[in-house]
Structure 1
């Protein structure tokens, strides 16, 4: 059964919990595994002020993701009216074209969960079709065309994010609850699975794994240069770091702990906090957007709170907390350029939704 859109509104519209949760995360105190470590503070804390980028067109309803390569910037619009993706020149942000047309024809999209840049092309994920599609750039570079589509194996339950491991392999979260991540080949077939949900809720692990995996919905990113895969939970405050070169793994849990829920009328209702909304693994660090707003406060404010997170957490490639950036805007998605010490971000609260932050060394 699918969770109706009306269950989670306003600031929590991005939960996309596709299943009912038949679990409660009110854990008794138990010991975590030895690879689970805790953090509560960052050795550095800095304030960053954002520069608003003036766009020459009003296309974006809910700009969720942003990525930049060379002289091109792509912004994903989660709730786009006609298209889910938009191509701009960079750094001018002059509008070029749109892609990912919304519709139910074979060449259109029912949803877009994320996109990735690879080999001068773009891969996009449609969870409702369970399909990955590769787009290529036109010869002029000002538009994208459909190149190939890959239907994902039926054993891969509702893929809500993906990362590109190499030219022949994708990494997709596992929502069966059996493991944490799936490795999928370029034909959409499941290769293998890895990791487990690092929870202390033994009852849920035993009796409600699919529901628990939905509660642990995470965003992920992979950097092939260093072999680091990072995942961050959309609820609670959990960061996982997988080193796929030496097969090591570490879990970092912040002061807000695991995702928390209660059951009401058969639905899983969040009772803790909104956690992370994006993550990027660079060559030297892990950057993640953090919200930290409680659902009690979200309900109390009845939609008056800005949507997004006002913090960027920076972790080492081993998951050690390094720096906490406090922003003057609420943001959702980020793209980090360590060479120029620049962070581009999306702000869903404003008509001019693209921001630029400049930061020093961490």
Structure 2
């Protein structure tokens, strides 16, 4: 089915589940944002590099890295910033030993610490960028323990990797820098009672984008389906769960396959020193399916930027004039950079 294929291409996994009832609401809801603002995005001119699906962007030390999810050759490209002059592609797609079978997420910590997760190889690699030599070289690889099954999102801290759980037994794992599980934390904050044998599917339904800020200890998760935000404060060991109007991910099972019945939710998340920024889609799967029935591609990304405080209280809602995917927010300059798969340019910028 066309829309089911789209789920696979955008990295959202289908789910098989059945529920046996639900309880009263356990978690607080937000309904509106105190402030709302319309924002105009400006396209950026980059060196001649073709992107098929510009997915994520991050800037550090006068270097920008763009991840191309559905590329022909390389998953990543490094550029000078703010000039956007090409440095080098890296993360070659292929089956050779040092090539990549997949790229789920990356973390750009410094010029010599670009961390990349390849779920299909169960591997995290570290890369180093040299703007002067115009090279990006592979420096280290960490093979993940098979107990982790399939890791789809991660963040490297000074002491461990934070890796989301795939089997629904926990919410995330602390994993050593050698790839070995140390501790498993949390549970999926659903308000629906599920049969035990559907729990692996439940984990797929609750697949979330994550980010962590070591300064404030906030580790945040935003669901790709539905509208649920989770905030773990690793310094105070507290956990907040906040539901939006669309609630948790919704699905039905038909003919042995799982189909979303609610909305496409958050698209990216960034935790800054003071706020949590999220890109939000919000289109229902019924609406998206109508595009495919007409032989058209559904919109890619969302045109809402939601801002929450570090406890999950809604602060501000921005409405952009373009759909965006990945974000990089600079609070010092009050600007945002985003990837855009529906523009002639893969990068747009906007003022907040």
- Compute the TM-score of the two structures, normalised by the length of structure 1: 0.92
What is the alpha-carbon distance in structure 1 between the residues aligned to residue 132 and residue 250 of structure 2?
A: 49
CA contact (8 A) 1:8 1:15 kept: no
Task: Give 1:207 shift.
Answer: 3.1
Which of 209, 220, 225 is 2:199 aligned to? 209
What is the alpha-carbon distance in structure 2 between the residues aligned to residue 232 and residue 43 of structure 1?
A: 20
- The answer to whether structure 1 residue 155 and structure 2 residue 147 are counterparts is yes
1:246 counterpart residue number:
236
Matched ranges for 1:322-333 at <5 A: 322-333=315-326
SS at match of 1:202: strand
Change (3 A) 1:11 1:348: farther
1:284 counterpart residue number:
274
1:116-175 deviations in whole A, cap 9, x for unaligned?
A: 022432000001101000011237263210101111011112111111222x31101101
Task: Give 1:13 shift.
Answer: 2.7
Task: Give 1:83 shift.
Answer: 0.2
What is the alpha-carbon distance in structure 2 between the residues aligned to residue 218 and residue 352 of structure 1?
A: 27
Task: Give 1:22 shift.
Answer: 2.6
CA contact (8 A) 1:113 1:127 kept: yes
- The answer to whether structure 1 residue 22 and structure 2 residue 16 are counterparts is yes
Change (3 A) 1:152 1:195: same
Task: Give 1:9 shift.
Answer: 3.2
In structure 2, runs of 5+ residues without a counterpart are none
CA contact (8 A) 2:87 2:131 kept: no
What is the alpha-carbon distance in structure 1 between the residues aligned to residue 224 and residue 133 of structure 2?
A: 34
Task: Give 1:6 shift.
Answer: 6.6
SS at match of 1:335: strand
1:157-196 deviations in whole A, cap 9, x for unaligned?
A: 2111111222x31101101111100111100000111111
- The answer to whether structure 1 residue 9 and structure 2 residue 5 are counterparts is yes
Which of 83, 89, 114 is 1:92 aligned to? 83
- Compute the TM-score of the two structures, normalised by the length of structure 2: 0.95
1:354 counterpart residue number:
347
Task: Give 1:224 shift.
Answer: 0.1
What is the alpha-carbon distance in structure 2 between the residues aligned to residue 157 and residue 118 of structure 1?
A: 26
Which of 65, 69, 74 is 1:74 aligned to? 65
1:321 counterpart residue number:
314
- The answer to whether structure 1 residue 233 and structure 2 residue 226 are counterparts is no
In structure 1, runs of 5+ residues without a counterpart are none
Change (3 A) 1:285 1:198: same
CA contact (8 A) 2:218 2:234 kept: yes
Task: Give 1:29 shift.
Answer: 4.8
Runs (4+) off by over 3 Å:
9-12
Which of 34, 38, 63 is 1:47 aligned to? 38
Matched ranges for 1:101-180 at <5 A: 101-120=92-111, 121-138=113-130, 140=132, 142-166=134-158, 168-180=159-171
